[in-house]
Every structure is written in C-alpha cells, then in structure tokens.
Amino acid sequence: MLEKVFDTLQGIIYNDLPKNSASKAVVYDRPIENWFIGERQIKPGNISITFSGSSSPLKDVTFGFQEFEHSINIEIDAGADNVDLSERIIQEATRLVLGSVRRHRRMWVLDVCPICTKFALSPQHYILDHNNILASYKASAISDFGTLWNQTHTNAAPSLPDSGLATEAFYRMYEDVRSGIAVTNLSDTAKRNILKMQRDYLEPIRMLYDVIPSSNEFSDNATGNQLYKTGKISITAKELIRLSDYGPDNVPTTAFKW
Ligand SMILES: [Zn+2]
C-alpha cells in the first residue's frame, strides 16, 4: 500500500539533504546510517529515519474515482554521548527532514521500472532512458492533446509538463501491452514484467497530492531519554485512483469457489 511511498520519501529526503564525502546524508557532521520501514523497538544509536503508517481510508469521490487519505509517520532517532548534543542533533535532523518534505506538496510515486528495474522518482525516467520505446507514444500524446485543444481554442496548444507527458506516453505503451499490441523495441522480459504488473493490479505511476506535514515534534524532550531522542513528523497525503471495473458481471462464468 504505502511501501513505494516510503521508498519515494526516502529517495526525496536523501536527495534533498546535504551529503558528506561518502555520499551519506548528514545532520551537522553525523551521517544518517539507517533508513527503516515499519516501526521497531530497538534502533541503533546513530541517526536513523523510520517510515511507518497503518491506515489509508478511502472513499468514493465520484463514479469511477476513489480517493485515499494516507497518514504517514516519519520518525527520526538519534543518540549522542552528551545531553545537549543529543537535543541539538534531533532538532536539526527533524528541521532538515521537515524542510525537505515541505517542498513536495505533490509527489510522483513510481513502481520499479518494468524495462530496466530501476526505482526512479520521476516519470521522466521513461522518456529520458527509454526514448527508443516511448518516443512514438510521446509524439501521439502531444498530437492528440493538440487536436483536442483545437476543438475549443483558436490559439496554439500550450506545451505539456514533461513528467505528465512521460506518464501519458508510458500508460499508452502499458495499455498496448495489455491489449496484445506489439511494441517496438520492448524486450520480452520487459513485456513479461508489464503483464505481471497488470495481473497484480499495480499502478505503475501514482501521484500524491495535498502532501502536508501536519505535525512537527522536533524532540521528545523527557528526562527518561536524555541521550537518545526522537523527533516525529506526520504527513497526510491524498491519492485519486480510477475504478474501471464495477461488477457484478466482471466475474467469468467459469469461476467457481472450491
Ligand atoms: Zn527504466
């Protein structure tokens, strides 16, 4: 559910934070040594970031569209051998993480690329790295948009954002694979990966919007944990998902319970 959202947040925060010469994200001079998903009781003493969440209620917003409301927790833990230092590190680490997530009010969330198995953070990956497969889909997406625009406008169509265009191009190719249409330059492995994603109901490119940090606990200031402190940021985010199958007649007559 939120697994790829956590991976995306990790990628974004890592990308936004300052790094040391070993390419680790740093808070002052201390590297963030661990990134965890799922809460746990025992954590290392050096700085770690844990992503967790447990509930994403959804509702119908209109016929054919449902909306998730995700709640995501980011916990930052750090220990030092001095009380003042522990407090300073946790405050600075929480401030840095908040500074990063505040900048991403809308966020692409991708699944692993079925063509090269990279975990990209922007759909532009598909155009930049797989242009030999997607160039024609991109061209037809631009052309179809222009045709649609011209039905109601006399001025020229504006250019589409690169990430949105890449998403449209990718989905056209993705649906061609589903329909059994041959896709030029797409390897058999990539095609098998796409068919598997479709069998698994995967959304290869998602978008979270209204990604809002709703709480900012920059320290758990308490006497019981003077040397090991925790900061917490809670995020709420919304996601629209299309519903293209409704039932009751989408169950094959050959299907039985046994
Ligand atoms: Zn790729």
Model confidence over 95-111: pLDDT tens digits?
A: 999 999 999 999 999 99
Distance CA 93, CA 110 (A): 26
Tell how far the Cα of 163 is from the centroid of ligand 1, in angstroms: 14
What pLDDT is recorded for position 28? 93
pLDDT at 222: 83
Read off the tokens for 166: 């890449």
Q: Please state whether beta strands 107-110 and 47-52 pair in parallel, antiparallel, or not at all (unpaired).
A: unpaired
Which strand (E) or helix (H) includes residue 101?
helix 83-101
Under DSSP, the state recorded for 224 is G
What is the Å distance from ligand 1's center to 22 Cα?
26
Alpha helices in 157-224 (DSSP H): 162-178, 188-199
Low-confidence residues in the chain, pLDDT < 50: none
Q: Convert the pLDDT of each residue in 30-74 to its tens digit.
A: 999 999 999 999 998 899 999 999 999 999 999 899 999 999 999
Cα 100 to ligand 1 centre (Å): 25
Between 3.40.309.10, 1.10.10.10, 3.40.640.10, 3.30.2000.10, what CATH number should domain 3-109+206-242 receive?
A: 3.30.2000.10
Q: 9 C-alpha to center of ligand 1: Å?
A: 19
Main-chain dihedrals φ then ψ at residue 9, nearest 5 degrees: -60, -40
238 C-alpha vs ligand 1 centroid, how far in Å?
Answer: 26
Cis, bond preceding 31 (omega within 30 deg of 0):
no
pLDDT for residue 246: 86
- For residues 17 and 58, the answer to whether their CB atoms sit within 8 Å is no
Parse the chain into domains and list their residue ranges: 3-109+206-242, 123-202
Q: What length is written for the chain?
A: 258
Give me the phi and psi of 166, to 5 degrees please.
-65, -40
Residue closest to 56 by CA, chosen among 5, 100, 111, 131:
5
pLDDT at 225: 83
Give the Cα separation of 22 and 99 in Å (integer). Answer: 22
Cα separation, 121 vs 110, in Å, equals 6
